[in-house]
Amino acid sequence: MAPKAKPSAEKVAKAVKGAVSRKVKKVRNNVHFFKPKTLMKRREPKYPRRSVESRQRMDKYRIIQCPVTTESAMKKIEEINTLVFLVDIKATKLNIKAAVKELYDVKCAKVNTLIRPDGKKKAYVHLTQDYDALDVANRIGII
């Protein structure tokens, strides 16, 4: 045990004999302080924070509420190959397009929307040339 203690005693003696060194203060050349980039580990939780995954609340049945069957809507079906629906106020044009495709198996060329004065959203769904709005309306049961 004694032979091992000797080198450390020599180091201490050398340090005591030497001059006391002062820590040099770092000269800052910039007024902005940047936080040092340290190791960032990925989170590995022990348990899930939510017991059940959240489901999508805007499904196709909530997006499209009902078709509009007014005279002006019928005129659009017959003349300009367009279906008119009342849709959820939060539905986007892309959501409406996807919902119409899923529900009625038709391809939409374009969707125009407006919010009526009573606060409901109305969507004009223009169908492509491959599909006839009159046939789709018959299948839905509008006409």
pLDDT in tens, 54-76: 888 899 999 999 999 999 999 99
pTM for the model stands at 0.65
The pLDDT score that the predictor gives to residue 3 is 57
Residue type, 104: Y
The dihedral region occupied by 44, where left means phi > 0, alpha psi between -120 and 50, and beta the remainder, is beta
Please determine, for residue 139, whether its predicted confidence score (pLDDT) is greater than 80.
yes
* Contact call for residues 95 and 63 (beta carbons, < 8 A): yes
Distance CA 91, CA 61 (A): 11
